[in-house]
């Protein structure tokens, strides 16, 4: 079976993207034949006139690749954000015109949980979803949201998954805790909240180091602000992957992702939990279905700095049972987010669509 699958660049140095991570895993582990169609901006690419013209040409390229490779199924990975909706609605229409079945895979986005602010985007998103044979979401909560908004869709749940390192060691206890951020350096990830929280913690005498990995438009601002607050206790390592990323997560105590909006089920969060990090994340979309506050991590309200500071204080002061939190995080991933199960479910969806 030949599948055309969309995603941003699969070159790790070009994109810090959870979707790209998911697609790399699918291509590597599935038994079917995949053709990657690059859709989405690089981290350093602006959405200007040249980018818009490129998207128009991409629709033609998309049509040509469907026919040239004799594609059986089109797998579109998207997020409910304005630019993604416009781009991927065009791909969905092209696939339907080519008489190819579509698997539409939703990965969060501003308008997954929030109501649309614009009727045009709402109508375009609905048309895109209704052209799909199957719509995949990341949790039962997301399924409920989508089915309530748009009736008579074939919606299936497929939680993101990670490959487990069975040799991963128990973390060593240290006097000074380490916080890690891993992802796109964009305001939607709660970077302003991180800066404010770290400034408060530092002013109140809490000692910790902060390691940041990723890329994005806020890189220079964020690294300058964090260096001013923490000095040598702040480290920026750029984009990492593979053994480097495993090492960074294995050495970290706290994984921090206080996102403002747009999250689905962050791959970096799942990877951090698998590495026994204590995650402190915003409760939104599918995150709350995974992270149980005080059990296997901590959740905070988006943009709630006092709450974020309070959770970090309780961890850094040693009030919490670190061992229990770490083991519960690891067990959550082992029991519910195994990559082998993920691939089996996805291949079943492909077979259903094809038949």
pLDDT of 263-273, one tens digit each?
989 999 999 99
Handedness of CA 81, 84, 87, 88 (dihedral sign): negative
For residue 4, report the phi and psi dihedrals to the nearest 5 degrees: -95, 120
Give strand pairing partners of 6.
Answer: 37
Residue 65 has pLDDT above 90, yes or no: yes
Spatial CB neighbours of 232, under 8 Å, sequence gap ≥ 6: none
Query: Where is pLDDT greater, at 143 or 53?
Result: 143
In this model, does residue 44 exceed pLDDT 60?
A: no
Q: Where are the alpha helices (DSSP H) in 204-321?
A: 219-230, 242-251, 267-274, 287-290, 305-316
Identify the pLDDT of residue 241: 85
Q: What pLDDT, on the 0 to 100 scale, is given for residue 75?
A: 98
pLDDT at residue 168, rounded to an integer:
58
> Largest alpha-carbon pair distance within the chain?
63
pLDDT at 264: 87
pLDDT in tens, 133-155: 999 999 999 999 999 999 999 99
Q: Tokens representing 191?
A: 């970077």
Please say if the pLDDT value at position 39 is more than 60. Answer: yes
Q: What is the pLDDT of residues 173-194, one digit of tens each?
A: 667 899 999 999 999 999 999 9
pLDDT computed for residue 55 by the predictor: 73
Question: Cα Rg for the chain, rounded, in angstroms?
Answer: 20
More confident: 288 or 236: 236
Q: Is the pLDDT of residue 288 over 80?
A: yes
Instruction: In whole angstroms, give the CA distance from residue 26 to residue 7.
Output: 11
Q: Name the residue with higher pLDDT: 50 or 124.
A: 124
Four-residue CA torsion sign, 261, 245, 326, 319: negative
CATH 3.40.50.2000 positions along the chain are: 2-161+338-354, 177-336
The yes-or-no verdict on residue 347 having pLDDT over 90 is: yes
Which pTM value belongs to this model? 0.87
Q: Please, what is the average pLDDT of the chain?
A: 92
Structure tokens at 83: 């630019």
CATH class name, domain 177-336 = alpha beta
Residue 114 pLDDT grade (very low, low, confident, very high; cuts 50, 70, 90): confident
CATH number of 2-161+338-354: 3.40.50.2000
pLDDT surpasses 70 at 13: no
pLDDT at 119: 93
Q: Are 206 and 233 in contact (CB under 8 A)?
A: no
């Amino acid at each position: 079976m030949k599948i055309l699958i969309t995603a941003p660049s699969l070159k790790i140095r070009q994109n810090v993207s959870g979707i790209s991570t998911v697609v790399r895993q699918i291509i590597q582990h599935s038994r079917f034949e995949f053709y990657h169609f690059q859709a989405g901006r690089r981290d350093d690419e602006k959405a200007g006139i040249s980018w818009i013209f490129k998207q128009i040409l991409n629709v033609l390229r998309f049509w040509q690749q469907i026919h040239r490779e004799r594609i059986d199924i089109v797998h579109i990975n998207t997020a409910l954000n304005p630019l993604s909706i416009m781009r991927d609605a065009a791909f969905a229409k092209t696939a339907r015109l080519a008489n190819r079945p579509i698997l539409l895979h939703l990965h969060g986005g501003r308008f997954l949980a929030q109501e649309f602010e614009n009727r045009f985007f709402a109508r375009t998103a609905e048309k895109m979803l209704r052209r799909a044979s199957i719509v995949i979401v990341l949790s039962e909560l997301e399924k409920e949201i989508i089915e309530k908004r748009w009736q008579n869709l074939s919606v299936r749940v497929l939680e993101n998954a990670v490959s487990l390192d069975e040799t991963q060691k128990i973390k060593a206890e240290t006097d000074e805790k380490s916080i890690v951020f891993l992802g796109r350096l964009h305001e939607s990830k709660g970077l302003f909240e991180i800066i404010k929280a770290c400034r408060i913690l530092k002013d109140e005498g809490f000692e910790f180091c902060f390691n940041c990995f990723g890329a994005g438009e806020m890189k220079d601002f964020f690294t300058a602000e964090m260096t001013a607050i923490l000095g040598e206790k702040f480290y920026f390592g750029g984009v990492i992957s593979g053994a480097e990323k495993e090492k960074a997560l294995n050495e970290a105590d706290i994984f921090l992702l206080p996102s403002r909006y747009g999250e689905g089920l962050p791959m970096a969060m799942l990877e951090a939990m698998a590495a026994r990090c204590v995650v402190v994340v915003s409760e939104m979309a599918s995150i709350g279905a995974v992270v149980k506050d005080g059990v296997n991590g901590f959740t905070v309200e988006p943009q709630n700095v006092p709450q974020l500071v309070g959770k970090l204080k309780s961890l850094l002061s040693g009030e919490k049972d670190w061992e229990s939190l770490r083991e519960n995080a690891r067990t959550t991933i082992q029991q519910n987010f195994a990559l082998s199960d993920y691939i089996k479910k996805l291949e079943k969806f492909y077979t259903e669509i094809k038949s």
